[in-house]
Amino acid sequence: MISANKKGRVKKLASAIVLAILLTFILPLSSALALSFTTTQITNNPYTDWEPQIDGDRVVWRGYDGDDSEVFLYDIPTKTTTQITNNIYLDDYFAKIDGNWIIWQGWDGSDWEIFLYNIADKTTKQLTNNYENDLSPRLDGERAVWRGSDGYDFEIFLYDIVTAATTNISNNGFYNYEPQIDGNRVVWVGEQDNLDYEIFLYDIDTTTNTQITDNIYRDVGAQIDDNKVVWHGDDGSDYEIFLHDTVNATTANISNNGFDDNDPQIDGNRVVWCQYDGSDHEIFLYDFLAARTTRITDNGSSDVEPRVFGDWVAWREYDGNDNEIFVYNTSTSTTTQITDNNYDDYLPEMGDDQVVWQSYDGSDFEIFLAAPATISATIDIYPDTLNLKSKDNYITCYVELPEGYSVSNIDFGSVKLNATVPAKQKPTSVGDHDRDGIADLMVRFDRSAIQALAYPGEVTLTVTGMVNLTQFEGRDTIKVISKGK
């Protein structure tokens, strides 16, 4: 039921979170040197390729094959491309990928339907089959969402890949748009009346709907990661960025200025967005654990389409001649211009430390991929056998670098295990653990965080970090057991 206080604005955060916002401050753009990246052109054909998406070591996009738009898949390690759809005059749009699944909307000759492809067994399943339009599919794990017409308005539908069950989770009398899913939660935008858009949240486990916003202004562009939801909403004077905690049911205005802020994206504890500062658009980053806002760009150019993944932020910037792709690394506070050409580059998407985008080559759009130039490190993880039931606090890792690089120059803050577990800042030491005459760096990782990622058997762990603005990467295989001490 809609609150009677329709004219009220979004509720403010609980006092602790409000205090965190008050502690927020703006940091200047880093003047550090750029990182080194390697760029790969994935497509090279006489047709247009659009809308790249990346997940892990795979990229999907839609490409025109001379007759219509089809869905393509690129495997980064093997550098192989697979055409997923192959039909005539039936367009396939907006492909998304998560793990072994690809989802898209396809035209069946009369309306748009939703299709799902299993990369593992190379099979395609049509999830919808009706006479209404089904659009905007999204994936997370073994669940998918989309918006579909029920003959009266657009509703949000949830599909369980395991049970093959479809559920109308909005089921109201108005139009619903922009579904997003993460874990057991779905968010979307609902148009209640007179172009008043509100944010809604659905909990899959409890099958409950919650209206997050309830005001007379437009709230749109909702994104979700874990238990946090972000969107941009009108506060009566301009658009601001709002952050909602689904656990505490609290909402905070995290931009809170006199300018328009829009297109928020969230990953982990970081939110990025673009702000119109009165002359052009700039990119901002908010870390809600540190209660800190960083202004990433500060120039006379238009910076838009921000994306964030882990320690990386990507966006496109108009440099006065055309649009180029830039990335920012939060660990090293460095900005790198990925493209530098006389053509337009659009729609960057981040995955791990890799960025994909579409670029005009003078005749059509092609798909490109860039990743940090990487040197190989020697990694030795101790203990060699990890007991999942052990109550020890840490595991120890020794890092050796190739000739020409010193472990003393490693940026400790950038060292991570499996891209998610950060190294402890103390203790660290430089020595020669294996007595081979090559210096190594000793770091430690939280044991419980690693045990949450491991499983019994042989497990290969990957350690990455930055040294002299170059990424290093190394792997070590350990044995994991689940026996008690």
DSSP-assigned letters across all residues of 29-75: PP-PPPPPEEEEE---SSS-EEEEEEETTEEEEEEE-SSSEEEEEEE
- For residue 452, give its domain range: 374-481
* Among 322, 348, 372, residue at a domain's last position: 372
Report the percentage of the chain scoring pLDDT > 90. Answer: 78
Write down the residue that tokens 């809604």 correspond to. 200
Give the pLDDT band (50/70/90) at residue 484.
Answer: low
State the chain's mean pLDDT as an integer: 90
CA-to-CA distance for 415 and 427, rounded, in angstroms?
Answer: 14
Q: Which residues of 270-304 are buried (b: 16+ CB within 10 A; e: fewer)?
A: bbbbbbbbeebbbbbbbebeebebbebbeeebbbb
Return the CATH number at 402.
Answer: 2.60.40
CA-to-CA distance for 476 and 241, rounded, in angstroms?
Answer: 42
CA-to-CA distance for 79 and 44, rounded, in angstroms?
Answer: 13
CA-to-CA distance for 157 and 209, rounded, in angstroms?
Answer: 13
In-domain check, residue 407: yes
Burial of 121 (0-12, 13-18, 19+ CB in 10 A): exposed
Taking only the tens place, the pLDDT of each residue in 136-160 is 999 999 999 999 998 889 999 999 9
Question: Does the pLDDT value for residue 1 go beyond 90?
Answer: no
In-domain check, residue 7: no
pLDDT of amino acid 228: 98
Taking only the tens place, the pLDDT of each residue in 399-451 is 999 999 999 999 888 899 988 899 998 899 999 999 999 999 999 999 888 88
In-domain check, residue 64: yes
- DSSP of 234-292, one letter per residue? E-SSSEEEEEEETTTTEEEESS-SSSEEEEEEEETTEEEEEEE-SSSEEEEEEETTTTE
In-domain check, residue 9: no
Give the pLDDT band (50/70/90) at residue 33.
Answer: low
* Among 314, 343, 372, residue at a domain's last position: 372
Return the CATH number at 194.
Answer: 2.130.10.10
* Among 354, 372, 390, residue at a domain's last position: 372
192 and 56 share one domain: yes
180 and 248 share one domain: yes
363 and 385 share one domain: no
462 and 338 share one domain: no
**C-alpha dihedral, 414 to 353 to 325 to 356, nearest 10°:** 180
Write down the residue that tokens 């000739």 correspond to. 403
432 and 346 share one domain: no
Which run of H or of E encompasses 21? helix 15-22
- Give how many domains the chain has, as a whole number: 2
Beta pairing class for 112-118 and 123-126: antiparallel
228 and 359 share one domain: yes
CA-to-CA distance for 127 and 114, rounded, in angstroms?
Answer: 5
pLDDT of amino acid 87: 92
pTM: 0.81
Tell me what the mean pLDDT of segment 172-176 comes to: 92
Contact 126, 137 (CB under 8 A): no
Higher pLDDT, 469 or 263: 263
Contact 356, 369 (CB under 8 A): yes
66 and 33 share one domain: yes
CA-to-CA distance for 63 and 73, rounded, in angstroms?
Answer: 10
pLDDT of amino acid 21: 38
In-domain check, residue 6: no
In-domain check, residue 8: no
Question: What token pair was written down for 187?
Answer: 């968010």
83 and 123 share one domain: yes
414 and 333 share one domain: no
345 and 470 share one domain: no
Q: How far is CA 351 from CA 52, 104, 308, 364, in A?
A: 11, 19, 9, 25
In-domain check, residue 50: yes
Q: Is 82 helix (H, G, I), strand (E, B) or coil?
A: strand
Give the pLDDT band (50/70/90) at residue 324.
Answer: very high
93 and 31 share one domain: yes
Burial of 315 (0-12, 13-18, 19+ CB in 10 A): buried
Contact 421, 462 (CB under 8 A): no
Give the pLDDT band (50/70/90) at residue 2.
Answer: very low
In-domain check, residue 2: no
Contact 298, 274 (CB under 8 A): no
248 and 161 share one domain: yes
Taking only the tens place, the pLDDT of each residue in 188-237 is 999 987 778 999 999 999 999 999 999 999 999 999 999 999 999 999 99
CA-to-CA distance for 47 and 38, rounded, in angstroms?
Answer: 24
Cα Rg for the chain, rounded, in angstroms? 24
pLDDT of amino acid 13: 36
Geometric angle at alpha carbon 267, from 261 and 268, rounded to 5°: 120
